[in-house]
Amino acid sequence: MTQTTRPTYYSRRLVAYVTELWRRREFVWFLALGNFKARNASTALGLFWWVLNPLLLSLVYWFVFGLLFGSRDIIYLMSGMFVFHFTAQSLTGGANAILQNSKLLANLRFPRLILPLSNLLESLIGFMVSLGVLLVLQIFLRGYVPTVSLWLLLVAIPLQVIFNLGLGSIAARLAVPFRDINNFIPYVTRIWLYLSPIIWPLRFLDEPAAQSFAGFADLNPLFPMIAVYRAALTDGPLTPDMLLHTLIWSITVGVIGVALFVRYEGRIVRHL
């Protein structure tokens, strides 16, 4: 293949792949909805556990770090916890997307990216419900009146979806040849939680003892992402560089993750 025909070849493959994904969009939706219902069918509260899980975690951390250390802002804690939970669920779901659907892969031919996509859609459904719950709680606890900043959600949600798709695709790519990755993900997400501005306030970074820690903030993609959500949901402060960093992280992780997965997907079945 010559240098001139190579870009044309890859662009045609990309168009054909995206076209096939779009043609099977109903399959993505029904797979996500089926998994969502099946996951919650055996519990009394059903899909409300998607909201209750990060909500109860927020209450636990609020009690430990709020009541004991003087920070009482439960809305601040929840706004970060819901965003983090969406990414953590997408990462875990991506790692399990291929392994839990091995029979489906062996019997049907379809773009394998559909599986991480369906898991992402499943997590997105729960995340949208949790955002609604957060807004309702703000109205009752703070007398919150939605402002024009709420439109930032139209930027924050698509960018996080792209980021989560890339992250879930990377996890799905690694989970097939390296099955032990599922055992490491809970530890990775727990460390990531503590390094994100969720259970600790931003003023912590101004403390002299935290100066060395502050340097790692730019390496955490959830740092600017949570800031954009808090600006949208709680009228928190937001600088243009936070939006720019969120955009860079989302596009970079999304493109790299999807490219790695699609390049490998032809060899997935033989490793199952």
pLDDT in tens, 115-138: 888 888 888 888 888 888 888 888
CB 160 within 8 A of CB 86: yes
Residue 99, pLDDT > 80, answer no
Confidence of residue 269 (pLDDT cuts 50, 70, 90): low
Q: What's the pLDDT tens digit per position in 144-202?
A: 666 778 888 999 999 999 999 999 989 888 887 777 787 888 888 888 888 888 877 77
Domain that holds residue 160: 20-271
Q: Which residue has the higher pLDDT, 27 or 2?
A: 27
Q: Which residue has the higher pLDDT, 212 or 264?
A: 264
Round to whole Å and give the CA distance between 42 and 45. Answer: 9
Q: What's the pLDDT tens digit per position in 11-29?
A: 676 677 777 777 777 777 7
Tally of structural domains, the chain: 1
Q: CA–CA distance from 57 to each of 14, 80, 166, 195, 229 (Å)?
A: 41, 11, 26, 16, 19
- In 10 A of CB 140, how many CB atoms? 8
Alpha-helical segments (H) within 73-144:
74-97, 102-107, 114-142
- Count of residues making up the chain: 272
In a domain, 200, yes or no: yes
pLDDT of 127 reads 86
- Who contacts 84 (Cβ-Cβ below 8 Å, separation ≥6)? 54, 192, 193, 196, 198, 222, 226
What DSSP state is assigned to residue 73?
-
Round to whole Å and give the CA distance between 129 and 53. Answer: 13
Q: Which residue has the higher pLDDT, 247 or 209?
A: 247
In a domain, 4, yes or no: no
Q: What's the pLDDT tens digit per position in 28-83?
A: 777 777 766 666 555 555 556 666 766 777 777 777 666 655 556 778 888 888 89
Q: What is the token pair recorded at 56?
A: 């109860």
Half-sphere CA count of 132, side-chain side, radius 13 A: 9
Q: What's the pLDDT tens digit per position in 234-261?
A: 877 788 888 999 999 999 999 999 888 8
Residue 97, pLDDT > 70, answer yes
What DSSP state is assigned to residue 237?
-
CB 185 within 8 A of CB 171: yes
In a domain, 134, yes or no: yes
Residue 105, pLDDT > 80, answer no
In a domain, 86, yes or no: yes
Three-state secondary structure call for residue 167? helix
In a domain, 225, yes or no: yes
CB 145 within 8 A of CB 66: no
DSSP3 helix / strand / coil % (the chain, rounded to 5): 80, 0, 20
In a domain, 1, yes or no: no
Report the percentage of the chain scoring pLDDT > 90: 15
In a domain, 88, yes or no: yes
In a domain, 166, yes or no: yes
